[in-house]
Amino acid sequence: MGNTKILLDHGSGGKMAHQLTTEVLLPLFDNPMLAMLHDGAVFEVNKGRLAFSTDSYVVDPIFFPGGDIGDLAVNGTVNDLAMCGAVPRYLSMGLILEEGLPIDDLRRILTSARKALDQAGVQLITGDTKVVPRGAADKIFINTTGIGVVPARVKISADGARPGDKIILSGTMADHGIAVLTQREGLRFESEVISDTAPLNHMVQAILALTRAVHVLRDPTRGGVGTALNEIALQSKVGMVIEEEKLPVTPAVAGICELLGFDPLYLANEGKLLCFVPARHAKAVLSIIQQSPCGRNACIIGQVVADHPGRVIMQTRIGGQRIVDMLSGEQLPRIC
Amino acid sequence: MSIDGKLFGESFRDPALAQSLVRQIKGHATQPMRLMEVCGTHTMAIFRHGIRALLPPTIALLSGPGCPVCVTDQQEIDGFIALAQRDDVIITTFGDLLRVPGTYTSLQKEKAEGADVRVVYSAMDAVQLAQAHADKTVVFLGVGFETTAPTIAAAILMAQQLGLENFCVNCAHKTVPTALAALVANPAIRIDGFLLPGHVSVIIGMNAYDDFFQKHHTPCAVAGFEPLDILQGIAALARQITSHRPALENSYGRAVTDQGNAKARAVMAQVFEPCDARWRGIGTISGSGLAIRPELARFDAARRFKIAVVEMKPPKGCACGEILIGAKTPLECPLFRKRCTPMDPVGPCMVSSEGTCAAYYRYHS
């Protein structure tokens, strides 16, 4: 292909669009269903329940330490399905490209999307590409929609937390939020922090193979662990008590948060889950999570209580107590 | 808070040491006492670490006028917004100011309407922006105390060195020691002791409080921001009050000296001179502001753009003014959690990450 950048013609539905599809997209996502280039994908389903989820990805910058918008778009939807207890099977991908996007960037993004699909064991079976004039979008936006199969007897929902449940967090907080932040204009600085973007479906399947008594699964993405806990407390009409000392944060992330006045409890994660299980299963579930490559730093951060429904309380390190509220607005750096 | 290795701050969060300081405080605080933490970062840290729950009921903590965004007068906020509405201007600011409501709108809302408002992390970023946009005037909104003022002074000197014609600062800086006297003079509040700001004191030094202390003999302790720092400062104040021995005490010795940071103070003195300043909730305090010196007038946005702003009344029912001087707590404001929330703030104390109302909203049950 002679062009090195995306042109409006690539979204025209004509020859250039066909060329983009056959030369860039298809070689990367080669599977019989996609290769049909039909208006939609057709597949068999067995009896049972399906999970269905969609998400759009507009991350800035599109490349960040530890990942890019491509693997993020795959992992994000895979994880949303996994949090329903589903085994993710198929994904669709809609690309909105800004005129002028280097085709090499697109290839790089789609290559990492492909790797993420392989890692999750999920197939991309339908897609769409649109090109908009320069300025009408920022480089690339991706929408992915996914379908997964929910095994029998799995009943996971945000209103399922019960007093006595232990709350497990599968690893360190805020890695994705900080990794992206350090690349933002005006704040560029060297750090060792990399995004935690990763598919969590294998971890979830390992947990559910051990016990189906899991009450809630949630990936604390935007809004972070603090917001996710509050949402679950409200929906389940329960209180929660977490321990500051147990909350896992890498020293690098903790240091940057101190410097900029951010609270890691409210920064995004893209490869972590919160798991609510009855206390009797907590140790076994924790140990299964810790065996997963992205769950090594998992720990029990607190428990569900019947008191103060809808509220999350933190026991601070020095023995005090405070409320952990939902994030309101974006976290902004402090002024003095 | 970390999975391996100890952060610098961690040793100042030791639970056993904290308990021992709490015992000391309980021993001293045998009578009711009202302590004001002057700094917004203290207010937030006290809530974040759950310190209020550890203190005996004899100690009342009042939050003071130490959030720079909050004490910025409404008229000044309206002035910032008026500047943002000009096509020939790029506004640069720290993030906290973005959502602070003026009389009719905020910088954030103006940004959504198309105003060029950019959040920067340092005033030097604003200087760089001015270099890159020769066709526009880049205005930095200088809001803050002695902690931020030196870096903004340095940015002005940098712009002078670079010969930049299109950079200036809308200067609304304020200084802490002068405000203390205004607070103790106010009959509406009774303050038994001041927990003085750590960061500000790193710059200005203990000596900067001498005049105030010699005149008023109010117990004072400068404290850092880790839980043990704060507890140590409170213990010092409780001891001074109960023993009737007021002192100007440095409980943050690892960072604060008598002289302060000589270099930072020199840069400030080179660029700024004292001026009268209006504080929200307090009114005009003589000599409590920093104005750009006449010889650097071309970097002064107030002189460059003659912006006429009409004095407006603060929103009806908003108690920010009284909250800023510790005369009321947010719980006594009729708008708190009802009309006024962080999502739709009425007054600045609900917006800023260091505002008293925001702290109560997030952390107070």
Instruction: State the pLDDT at residue B228.
Output: 95
Q: Which of A96, A116, A150 is the last residue of a domain?
A: A150
Q: Which residue has the tokens 């701050």?
A: B9
Closest by CA position to A141, among listed A171, A109, A167: A109
Chain A neighbors of B97, CB-CB under 8 A: 335
B4, B148, B231 ranked by CB distance to A335: nearest: B148
Q: Are residues A118 and A208 in the same domain?
A: no
CA atoms of B224 and B231, how far apart (whole Å): 10
- Residue A286: closest CA among A198, A196, A173, A167: A167
Asked if residue A184 has pLDDT above 80, the reply is no
Tokens of B12: 């100042």
Asked whether residue A142 falls in the same domain as residue A178, the answer is no
Q: Does residue A13 share a domain with residue A143? A: yes
CB-based contact A250:A193 (threshold 8 Å): yes
Q: Is A134 exposed, middle or buried (0-12, 13-18, 19+ CB in 10 A)?
A: exposed
- In angstroms, the separation between the Cα of residue B37 and the nearest Cα of chain A is 15
CATH number at residue A233: 3.90.650.10
Q: Are the C-beta atoms of residues A229 and A326 closer than 8 Å to each other?
A: no
Q: How many CB pairs under 8 A join A and B?
A: 128
Q: Mean of the per-residue pLDDT values for chain A?
A: 92
CB distance A264–B97 less than 8 Å? no
pLDDT at B2: 44
Of A321, A328, A334, the CB nearest to B96: A334
Domains in chain B: ranges and CATH: 14-319 (3.40.50.11740), 320-363 (no CATH)
Which of A150, A178, A212 is the endpoint of a domain?
A150
Give the span between the Cα atoms of B75 and B313, in whole angstroms. 9
**B contacts of A325 (beta carbons < 8 Å):** 361-363
User: Do B343 and A330 meet the contact criterion of CB atoms below 8 Å apart?
Assistant: no
Helix B262-271 and helix B149-162, axial crossing angle in degrees, nearest 10: 60
Determine the pLDDT at residue A258: 82
| DSSP per-residue codes, B164-222 | -SSEEEEE-EE-HHHHHHHHHH-TT---SEEEE-HHHHHHH-GGGGHHHHHHH---EEE
Domain count, chain A: 2
| CATH number of the CATH domain containing A137 | 3.30.1330.10
Question: Which residue type is seen at B56?
Answer: P
Higher-scoring residue by pLDDT: B353, A9? A9
Please give the residue that has the higher pLDDT: either B102 or A81: A81
**Contact residues of A toward B, CB < 8 A:** 172, 186-187, 244-245, 247-251, 254-255, 258, 260-261, 263-264, 297, 308, 311, 314-323, 325, 328-329, 331-336
- CA diameter of chain B: 64
Q: Which residue, among B44, B70, B33, has the nearest Cα to B230 in the 3D structure?
A: B44
Q: In terms of domains, do A178 and A254 share one? A: yes
> A174 and A319: one domain?
yes
Q: What is the mean pLDDT of each run of 10 residues along chain B (365 residues)?
A: 51 89 96 95 92 95 91 92 95 90 91 94 94 97 95 97 97 94 90 96 97 97 95 98 97 95 97 95 92 96 84 83 92 94 88 88 82
| A217 and A97 housed in the same domain | no
A318, B50: Cβ pair inside 8 Å? yes
- Is pLDDT above 80 for A328? no
Q: Is residue A20 part of a domain?
A: yes
pLDDT of residue B315: 80
pLDDT on residue A185: 61
pLDDT tens for each residue of A245-294: 999 999 999 988 888 778 899 999 999 999 999 999 999 999 999 999 99
- Residue A87, beta-bridge partner list: A149
Nearest to B50 among A321, A329, A335 (CB): A321
DSSP codes, A98-152: ETT-BHHHHHHHHHHHHHHHHHHT-EEEEEEEEEE-TTSSSSEEEEEEEEEEEPT
Q: If we measure between CA atoms, which residue out of B194, B233, B190, B234 comes closest to residue B217?
A: B194
Domain that holds residue A295: 165-324
Give me the residue from B1, B143, B353 closest to A254, CB to CB.
Answer: B1
Instruction: Enter the tokens of residue B103.
Output: 């009389």
A24 and A139, same domain (yes or no)? yes
* Tokens linked to A230: 């509050």
What Cα–Cα distance (Å) separates residue A14 from each residue in A25, A102, A103? 16, 20, 18
Contacts of B130 in chain A (CB under 8 A): none
DSSP notation for B319-343: -HHHHHTTSS-GGG-TTBTTTB-SS
Interface test with B, best of A265, A318, A328, A332 (most B CBs within 10 A): A318
Cα B263 to Cα A180: distance, rounded to the nearest angstrom: 35
The pLDDT score that the predictor gives to residue A336 is: 33
Which tokens is A226 given? Answer: 């603090």
- Reported as a pLDDT band with limits 50, 70 and 90, residue A186 is low
| Claim to verify: residue A104 and residue A212 sit in the same structural domain | no
Indicate whether A336 belongs to any domain: no
Reduced 3-state DSSP string for A155-214? CCCCCCCCCCEEEEECCCCCHHHHHHHCCCCCCCCCCCCCCCCCCCHHHHHHHHHHCCCC
Let me know if residue A331 belongs to a domain.
Answer: no
Q: Report pLDDT for B5.
A: 44
Q: Nearest to residue B226, comparing CAs of B2, B18, B4?
A: B18
pLDDT of residue B362: 86
Name residue A294's amino acid.
C
pLDDT value at residue A188: 66
Confidence of residue A192 (pLDDT cuts 50, 70, 90): confident
pLDDT at A39: 83
| A334 found inside a domain | no
Please say which residue of A102, A123, A150 terminates a domain: A150
pLDDT of residue B4: 44
The whole-number pLDDT of residue A332 equals: 47
Put simply, the answer to whether A323 touches B364 (Cβ < 8 Å) is yes
Q: Using the beta-carbon criterion (under 8 Å), do B99 and A321 form an inter-chain contact? A: no
User: Nearest C-alpha of chain B: how many angstroms from A53?
Assistant: 28
Q: Which residues of B touch A263 (CB under 8 A)?
A: 48
Same domain, A117 and A16: yes
Q: Please give the pLDDT value at position B268.
A: 97
| Phi-psi region at A329: left, alpha or beta (left = phi > 0; alpha = psi -120 to 50) | left
- The maximal CA–CA distance of chain A, rounded, in angstroms, is 68
- A129 with A174, same domain: the answer is no
Count Cβ atoms below 10 Å from residue A135 Cβ, excluding itself.
Answer: 9
pLDDT digits (tens, 9 = 90+) for A51-63: 999 999 999 889 9
Cβ–Cβ gap B354/A334 under 8 Å: yes
Whether A254 sits inside 8 A of B99 (CB atoms) is: no
CA atoms of B270 and A278, how far apart (whole Å): 65
Residue A67 belongs to a domain: yes
CA distance A334 to A262: 8
Residue of higher predicted confidence among A185 and A70: A70
Q: Where are the beta strands (DSSP E) in chain B?
A: 33-37, 59-63, 89-93, 117-119, 137-142, 167-171, 173-174, 193-196, 220-222, 248-250, 272-279, 283-292
The answer to whether residues B209 and B180 touch, using CB atoms and an 8 Å cutoff, is yes
Please check whether residues A220 and A134 belong to one and the same domain.
no
Residue-level pLDDT at A331: 55
Distance from CA of A198 to the nearest CA of B (A): 20
**Chain position carrying tokens 């960061």:** B199
pLDDT confidence of residue A2:
67
**ipTM value:** 0.75
Tell me, yes or no, whether A122 and A228 share the same domain: no
Burial B241-260 (b: 16+ CB within 10 A, else e): beeeebebbbbbeeebeeeb
> What amino acid occupies position A313?
I
